[in-house]
Amino acid sequence: MSVVNVRESKSWFSLLQTAQLSQTAVMAIGPGEESGPKENEHSQSEQVLYLIEGELHAEIGERVFAMRAGDSTIVRRGVRHRFANRSQQPALTFNVYTPPAY
């Protein structure tokens, strides 16, 4: 068993832990930045994204919505998605992929 602190990540995306059936990661999305192009998808994995701090503009499939600290969402496998930080404050997410995506 390992314990990691999500706030100790030094890059915008860091894998934290990988097990046989799941994987954890953290994303730090700065003001004006985004998680990647809308074509970003995980063909074999579902992603649970929990927004620890900040605000994000989420595009998941055809849905577009705002997220604020404390919100979570599930990205089904194979669904195109993107998370953009349109605020002036950094956003920090904790993510679980099942099965591991990376």
CB atoms within 10 A of CB 61: 13
Half-sphere exposure of 58 (CA within 13 A, CB side): 22
Digit-coded pLDDT (tens) for 31-77 = 999 998 888 778 999 999 999 999 999 999 999 999 999 999 999 99
Give the distance, in angstroms, between the CA of residue 50 and the centroid of all CA atoms in the same chain: 7
**C-alpha–C-alpha distance, residues 70 and 12, integer Å:** 19
pTM of the model: 0.93
Q: At a CB cut-off of 8 Å and minimum separation 6, what does 21 contact? A: 98, 99, 100
Query: Which CATH homologous superfamily contains domain 28-98?
Result: Jelly Rolls (2.60.120.10)
pLDDT at 42: 87
